[in-house]
Amino acid sequence: MSERTDGRILTHFADVQDPRDERGKEHKLIDILTIAICAVICGADSWVDIELYGQSKQAWLSTFLSLDNGIPSHDTFARVFARLDPEQMQTCFVRWVSAISQLSGGEVVAIDGKTARHSYDTANGKGAIHMVSAWASANRLVLGQRKVDAKSNEITAIPALLQVLAIEGCIVTIDAMGTQKEIAAAIIDQGADYILALKGNQSGLFEDVQWLFEQAQSTQFRQVVHDFAQTLDKGHGRIELRRCWTLSDAELDYLIQKPQWKGLQTVVMLQSERRIKGQTRTETRYYISSLAPDAAKIAAAIRTHWTVENHLHWTLDVAFDEDACRIRKDHAPQNFSLLRQIALNLLGQDKSTKAGIAAKRKKAGWDDAYLLAILAQ
C-alpha cells in the first residue's frame, strides 16, 4: 500500500469548490467546513447544534480560523452543505483516508449498505437515502461511501465505490446483493480478492454450489479435494459451533457459470450451530471466492465481515443517532453522513483514551487540546 502522507484532514478538504456566488459571501468555506467537522466530532447532530458549538467555541476557533464575520448561522451551514458537490467531498475523504491509513495484505474490507431512516422528504417525493460503505476491519476505518441512486440499488453503487478505493491485497466481502459478475471482476481488477455470499438471487449458481456440497457430503468428502475448519465459542449461556468446508480445483468444473466469474477458484459451505437454553438452531450458507481453498482463513474473513454491522452501522446509530437525523435537503443528507464518517474515523484512530466513541465525542467537546490532537492525526 502507499506510504503514509500528510494526514491532517483540513489539508485534504482545503480545495473543495465553493458552490456559492462571490457576492454576499460572508464566511470562508474552509471555516464553515472546519467548524462543522469540529462540531460533529464534539457531539453536534444538526445545523443548530453546529451553530451553537461555533458560538460557544468562537474564541478558541478564532485562534486558527479567520472568522471575519463571526460564526455562520445554522441556515448558512444548511444552505452550504445542501449545495456542496458530494462527489468532490467524497474524493477529498478518500484521499484523506489513504493518507492516514495503510491497509495490510489480507485485511478484510467489508462492503455493506445502511439507510438513514429519517432523511426522507415526503413533501418533495424523496425517500430516505441509502449509503454503501467500505469498512476496513483491522484499521477500523471507513474507506469510502457511495449514495445509492433513488432509482437503482447497491448493485450499481458498489462498482462506483470500488473504483475509488485502494484495496490491493485485501479481501473484499459482500452480502448476496453484491454477488454480481461485474462486481467480482472489479474487485479482481483492483488487485484484491473476494468472498461473495450466495443466495437465490444467483439462480443456477446457488443451486449448483449447493448440489456440489450435497454430493461431497454423501461420500463424507472422501472423493473430493477439500479443506475443513471449525471453531467453537462459548459465553453468556451460548455455545456456537461453526464448520467451514471448501471445494476447489476439478470440483468447480461442474459449475457451468464458473468461466463467467473472474478469479473464481473456491466455493464455500459454512454451517453455524447455535445452542441457547437447550434449543439448537442450525444455519447453512454458501459463498464463492477468488481465494485459495483455505477453510480457516475464509471462515475467519466471513465472520469478520459482520464487524461492519457492529463497529460501523451500530456505532452510527448509537453514538451519532444517525437514524433520528432529519436533515434532508438536496445534498445535505449525503454530506452530513460524510461528516459522521470523518468524526468516526478520527475518534476511532485515537488510542489515548480508553472509551467508546460516544464518550470520546464528549471529551472532545470539553477538552480543546484533545480535539486538536484528534484533528492532527
Whether the Cβ atoms of residue 216 and residue 286 lie closer than 8 Å to each other: no
Question: What per-residue confidence (pLDDT) applies to 193?
Answer: 98
Q: Is the pTM of this model over 0.95?
A: no
Dihedral of the alpha carbons of 180, 186, 187, 190, in degrees to the nearest 10: 180
pLDDT in tens, 327-373: 888 899 999 999 999 999 999 999 999 999 999 999 999 999 999 99
Please name the amino acid found at residue 282.
T
Enter the C-alpha cell of residue 196: 461473495
Question: What per-residue confidence (pLDDT) applies to 143?
Answer: 95
pLDDT in tens, 180-192: 999 999 999 999 9
Whether the Cβ atoms of residue 90 and residue 142 lie closer than 8 Å to each other: no
Structural domains of the chain, with CATH: 9-93+329-375 (no CATH), 108-312 (3.90.350.10)
SS3 call for 124: helix
Q: How many residues does the chain have?
A: 377
Counting residues of the chain whose pLDDT is more than 90, the rounded percentage is: 69
Whether the Cβ atoms of residue 269 and residue 304 lie closer than 8 Å to each other: no
Question: What per-residue confidence (pLDDT) applies to 148?
Answer: 85
Question: What per-residue confidence (pLDDT) applies to 100?
Answer: 83
pLDDT in tens, 49-99: 999 999 999 999 999 999 999 999 999 999 999 999 999 999 999 999 988
pLDDT in tens, 174-222: 999 999 999 999 999 999 999 999 998 787 899 999 999 999 999 999 8
CA distance linking residue 319 with residue 301, whole number of Å: 26
- CA geometry: angle at 249 spanning 247 and 251, to 5°? 60
Count of Cβ atoms closer than 10 Å to residue 3 Cβ: 6
CA distance linking residue 172 with residue 96, whole number of Å: 21
